[in-house]
Chains A and B, each alone.
Chain A
Amino acid sequence: MGVMRILVCVKRVPAPGAKIVITKDEQDIDSAHLGFTMSPHEECAIEAAAQLVEQHGGEITILTAGSRASDEQLRYAASVGAGSLVRIENNTGIDWDPQHTARSLSTAVQALEDEFGGYDLLLFGNEAADTGGYQTGIRTAHLLGRPIVNAINGIEIVGDSFVARRETPSGVEVYRVPTPAAFGVKEGINLPRYPTMKGRLASKKLSVAVVEDHSEPGEQCRVRLFRPNEAAKETVILGRDSEAAGAVVDLLEELGLI
């Protein structure tokens, strides 16, 4: 590899606390009082990229699809190590369903590669925190003709390949994928760093390149979004302070656990 080039795709998602509220038209979650973040897996993907670049040298580009508000997530990525920021803007009103999103991302990656050179590694989150489609990375990689493995929690470079680890219910799997490669990353691969003050200041000066989306819509269409019925439940308060210890152990006995 020459100078390693890594591209990480991220998605702006609301950061709900204890309860999610749906908008009146049942089309979205009511984010009027919510902060925003990127999906946790993607935060770890950026950290994985940053660690690879620290070890081997290279540069990191962050790509997102969304409105201008998504610049917040791009700048956060810049504050922890990314050097180029690109946003795909969609003025057509076409919904960002998985097929459409992957077409847009792959078109943008292709254009960036034509202009600046190929990426050795594409990183995605395993699945988005909100829609949880489990496919955008895989579809994008296919459209770009890159091999991809999902659910990865370890990446290192060995020769001209990436060696990736994946935890499964029964153990650990290892993959050796030649560059250029793509991975869907899972939280737990690392502990993402916090931005430094210097990083934050530098990220404010970085410009976001905006490209327009002209991709075809996909075939999945939302009808409505709702909260499943939760059975109204009275919590049995066993007591307060240490005096409740006896009641807790009674419960453990009742459940047959001791």
Chain B
Amino acid sequence: MSNILVLIDSCEADATETINELLTQGRNLANQVNGSLEAITFDPRHKELAGAWAEHGVNVIHYLTNSALHDYGPQAWAQGIVQIVSLVEPISVISCGSDRGHEVMANVAAILDAPFVSNCLSVTAGERWQASRLQWGGSLIEEVTVASTFPVLSFALHSCETTLSKISEPLKIISHEIELDTESAKTIVIERTEKPEGQSLETSAVVVAGGRGVGSADGFNVLETLAKLLNGKVGCSRAVTNNGWRSHTDQVGQTGKRIAPDLYIACGISGAIQHWVGAMASKNILAINTDPEANMVKKADYAVIANLHEIIPAVSDEIVRRNGQ
């Protein structure tokens, strides 16, 4: 039988939706080849999570352990997955397109000298596999064929709508003690600090972002005031970080954060591809720019043609005035 192996990385925060999307893609692939969907997990909580995974079409869960594997290690995880590959003989291994998903799949592909097609949107199994995948941070789509009977794949985040597909056979959970060599143990996490719970740029409902048009580090003060009134966070474009006005942790874009707030207020941002791909998933975009021809203005849902240093304090004042009523 043709099986699909899927890495479920439930150890990272906010992963439930991502996992369900990945399992939907995995189940779809398994259906294409009349196979089963077998999950790999390193999460000791897998027994509590198993029911939810089964509802998205997982037939078997392989739980991998090793006494040295007290935390994440890309090469150790890959080595473990390769051992399950030789056991299950799947026709593909898949993961989600997160930093960790990409990293582990690239290691698996490197060990097996298999092709790795990253950030797929859709995949058709066959003698020559076909896939469409994201390039340029999501601004282009590339169609590829793969001349291999065993491609390694990662699926882009939000590449599909989640669907439930309950399997009639009972779910099997199998534990495996995997073997690790000293080489792959070299890249296991030695120390971890958790961020304090709270709002981040990624989880904030409102992001007020500034670009080159803000003009200086101090220029962000008006954005900070507005963001505070809206219980939001301040973001920025790459031009801003390159000028040293704000830290890279605030950067939205292809090489910064990908965000999807309810409202993204882009102040003095021209809207180059590099920035746009980080903000395009926002539910509403309001552009504030002096240039009505700016790309950000053309792509936004709403726009104000104004100097941000005048309009933003005016908006803050108006919010305070209405709140006072």
Contacts and interface: CB of A to CB of B under 8 A. Distances in A.
- A complexed with B: yes
Interface of A: 16-20, 22, 29, 40-41, 97-99, 102, 126-127, 129-135, 138-139, 141-143, 145, 147-151, 167-178, 181, 184, 186-188, 191, 218-228, 233, 235-242, 244-249, 251-253, 255, 257-258
23 contacts: A20-B139, A29-B136, A40-B274, A147-B75, A148-B187, A169-B202, A170-B12, A170-B195, A172-B195, A173-B191, A187-B256, A221-B145, A222-B142, A227-B140, A237-B292, A240-B306, A241-B307, A244-B306, A248-B311, A251-B286, A252-B230, A253-B322, A257-B262
Nearest to B14: A169
A218 to B, nearest CB: 6
Interface string B56-72: 00000000000000011
B317 A245 contact: yes
Interface stretch (B22-30, B47-55, B265-273): B265-273
Nearest to A134: B102
Contact of B255 (A41, A218, A233, A242): A41
B194 A135 contact: no
Given A132-B136, A245-B315, A150 B103 contact: yes
A102 B188 CA distance: 23
Contact of A235 (B111, B140, B300): B300
Interface in B243-262: 244, 247-249, 251, 254-256, 262
B242 to A, nearest CB: 7
Contact of B142 (A41, A148, A225, A235): A225
A173 B192 contact: yes
Contact of B13 (A127, A170, A222, A223): A170
Contacts of B242: 191
- Contact-size category for B: 35 or more
A249 B319 contact: yes
Contacts of A170: 12-13, 194-195
Interface stretch (B34-42, B113-121, B172-180): B113-121
A173 B99 CA distance: 13
Contacts of B14: 169
B304 interface: yes
A248 B304 contact: yes
A133 B318 contact: no
A171 B111 contact: no
Given A135-B109, A237-B305, A244-B311, A258 B323 contact: yes
Contact of A171 (B116, B130, B193, B247): B193
B229 interface: yes
B194 A171 contact: yes
B140 A135 contact: no
B143 A18 contact: no
Contacts of A240: 304-306
Interface string B102-138: 1101110111011111110000000000100011111
Contact of A187 (B118, B146, B151, B255): B255
Interface string B293-316: 001011111111111001100110
Contacts of A99: 113, 115
Contact of A135 (B116, B188, B248, B310): B116
A248 B140 contact: no
A218 B114 CA distance: 9
Interface string B182-193: 011011111111
Given A135-B109, A139-B110, A219-B146, 18 more contacts: A18-B276, A20-B139, A40-B274, A138-B106, A147-B75, A148-B187, A186-B255, A188-B249, A221-B146, A221-B147, A235-B298, A237-B304, A238-B303, A241-B310, A244-B306, A247-B304, A255-B263, A257-B230
B186 A147 contact: yes
B248 to A, nearest CB: 3
B311 A236 contact: no
A169 B13 contact: yes
B248 A188 contact: yes
Contact of B315 (A19, A236, A249): A249
Contacts of A175: 187-190
